[in-house]
Structure 1
Amino acid sequence: MSIKKFLSWSLVILWMALIFHLSHQPATVSNELSTGITELIVKTVEKIAPNAEFDIRSFNNIVRKNAHFFAYLVLGMLVINALRRSGVPGYRSVLITLGICVLYAISDEIHQLFIPGRSGEVRDVLIDSTGASLGVAIYWAASRLVKGSKTKDRN
């Protein structure tokens, strides 16, 4: 196994472990983390735009849902990269990546059913799946750009 292949799959596993760890936190701990991030964002925005008004509760919900989206955007990029380094070609790698990410999102929501104060939500699976899909699209577009620039450099 090549070092790049090993590292790419290691990153997938580590990122999945991080998602699992964050999902395993009871609701109170999870809410403290997202509230802290929300407050940091609000303070930063208030420095830039002092007259801005925020509904902290609504904004905290947006931060939480964006965290889902971002976590799975990264997971999608990591999985497709690992599959491509493992020799899985073209659209097959896209379909397998989306399958892995959607199944992980479903298992993550089921996992949360057993955590105090947490719930499993279909809406979160949809947010996660959308993030993974965008991650795959970004990876795909970036790889096409890199491949195109390498072709130009050879000519």
Structure 2
Amino acid sequence: MLKRIDFSLLLSYCSLIYYLSNQPVIKVPMFFTHQDKLHHFGAYFLMGILAWRCSASLNNAAIIRFFLTFGFCSIYGASDEWHQSFVPGRESDIWDWSADAAGALSAAIWLLLINNRQLNLKRRQAGLKAGFDVARKQKSMKDGFERVAADLKNFLKPF
């Protein structure tokens, strides 16, 4: 059920962006130059969050979800800019697409960091530190060095 809700939210949001991109003029008061880039950044940051949630239902590793989220949002942003080039009164701008991609990338990085933090917290609660048992790893390394030293000693014995 949650998968359907996540997918429906993402689809609805993409439809809203398409609808707004299809309007000849969107009247927004401008308080500073390049304010539209901030709008693009915010819109695609939100899209990145929705795409991340949608990709979570695929049960992929977080890094795969990162690339799926960033890839989907960047491609959608590029297609949106291309679509705007056909709308009278609108123009396509590479800097708008850059702001779209930056928003999606920021959301994906932020969510990846949150995911990794939660994973490390779960590992610590399970009695492990940073994903592996430190004492066991140190003993294994010590045993490895001792074996290498013994092999080297046996190799040099005839000399």
Out of 35, 45, 48, which is 1:76 matched to?
Answer: 48
Aligned equivalents of 1:98 and 1:105: distance in 2?
10
Percent identical: 28
Normalized per residue, the structure richer in helix is: 1
- Alignment equivalent of 1:121, drawn from 69, 93, 97: 93
In structure 2, C-alpha distance between the alignment counterparts of 1:109 and 1:78, rounded to whole Å = 20
Provide the C-alpha distance between the structure 2 equivalents of 1:14 and 1:146, rounded to a whole number of angstroms: 29
- Amino acid in structure 2 at the alignment position of 1:114: F
Partner in structure 1 of residue 62 of structure 2: 90
Match of 2:134 in 1: none
Higher-RCO chain (CA-CA 8 Å, sequence separation at least 6) = 1
Which residue is equivalent to 1:26? 24
Q: 2:37 — aligned with what?
A: 65
The CA distance in 1 between the partners of 2:122 and 2:2, in whole Å, is 20
Counterpart residue identity of residue 4, structure 1:
L
Q: What RMSD in Å do the two structures reach over aligned CA positions?
A: 1.8
Gaps of at least 5 residues in structure 2 are 128-159
**How many corresponding residue pairs?**
127
SS in 1 for 2:34: helix
Specify the alignment match of 1:47 in structure 2.
Answer: none
TM-score under structure 2 length normalisation: 0.71
Contact map agreement 1:68 1:127 (CA 8 A) in 2: yes
Equivalent positions of 1:133-144 (< 5 A) are 133-144=105-116
Residue by residue over 1:117-155, the C-alpha shift from the partner in whole angstroms, topping out at 9 and shown as x without a partner, is 100111111110011000101111222233344455566
Contact 2:62 2:115 in 1 (8 A): no
5+ residue gaps, structure 1, are 39-55
Given that 1:110 and 1:120 are in contact with CA atoms closer than 8 Å, whether structure 2 keeps it comes out as: yes
* Distance across 2 between alignment mates of 1:13 and 1:153: 37
CA radius of gyration, larger in = 2
Q: What does residue range 102-117 of structure 1 map to in structure 2 within 5 Å?
A: 102-117=74-89
